[in-house]
Structure 1
Amino acid sequence: MRIHLSSVFVDDQEKALRFYTDVLGFVKKNEVPIGEHRWLTVVSPEDPDGTELLLEPDVHPAVKPYTTALVEDGIPAAAFAVDDVHAEFERLRGHGVRFTQEPLEIGPITTAVLDDTCGNLIQIVHTA
């Protein structure tokens, strides 16, 4: 068994697609119209057949209270591995990305947390 798909709830699929591809560097894998929304997934260009991230519309009534509580408490909705958190922090900050936590070293792990502009906090992490 392996993880095939995970999702983040987003308040605007088009804005999310631009952020996750143009800023974070993922590539679009699937885009299938489903009513007024889309089955819209992105993947890492380093692993195009790997785990897909679904940019899921936040239309269910339970989503807004859930995502709002996570953001207010500073809890990331997802974590993405990077080779160097400090370098990625500088690259993303250069693109205007807002971070809620600058790089923090916790033993052999370094993390930072960013705002994805679509209703989520996302953690980037690497292990030394």
Structure 2
Amino acid sequence: MIRLRDVTYLVRDHAEALEFFVDALGFAVRQDETFDGGWRRVVVGPPGGGTGLVLALADDGAPVGRQAGTDVAFFLETDDFAAQHERMLRHGVHFREEPRREPYGTVAIFEDLYGGAWDLIEPPSA
């Protein structure tokens, strides 16, 4: 078996990133350790498993929030679009559009804390 465990996600500040991913999106902190020399490893991800994000502090000039240019870089799947959408709105997440129904599910594009595009999507019921 092979699977994608974690991916690096560039951030400007660990505290603001944790607030966004944990409070607004509902992710869990999987690791938050500081090692000798002050290097900090922070990993968040959906509760219950799946690929995590290593929240890495970006160097000056790094493309924070632009990992995929202007395209959607990440696809956040939920089994309750309405509840997740409401949670995110309560936490000030900016949606670029109103939710819409497509053949592949209910979807809306939202922005992360740096303006990067994500899809929130609930696949159709089986």
TM-score (norm 2): 0.78
Per-residue displacement from partner, 1:47-81 (whole Å, max 9, x unpaired)? 2xx422111222164425x81873xx3x2231111
Q: Residue 52 of structure 1 corresponds to which residue in structure 2?
A: 52
Count of aligned positions? 122
- The question of 1:30 aligning with 2:31 is answered yes
TM-aligned CA deviation for residue 124 of structure 1: 1.2
What code does the residue aligned with 1:106 have? E
Fraction of identical pairs, as percent:
30
What code does the residue aligned with 1:96 have? G
Structure-2 change in CA distance of 1:60 and 1:37 (3 Å): farther
What code does the residue aligned with 1:11 have? R
Q: Which runs of 5+ in 1 are unaligned?
A: none
TM-score (norm 1): 0.77
Distance in 2 of aligned mates of 1:9 and 1:51: 16
Q: Which runs of 5+ in 2 are unaligned?
A: none
Structure-2 change in CA distance of 1:2 and 1:68 (3 Å): closer
2:118 to 96, 109, 122: 122
Q: Which runs of 4+ in 1 moved over 6 A?
A: none
> Alignment RMSD, CA only?
2.5
2:83 to 60, 65, 87: 87
Distance in 1 of aligned mates of 2:5 and 2:66: 23
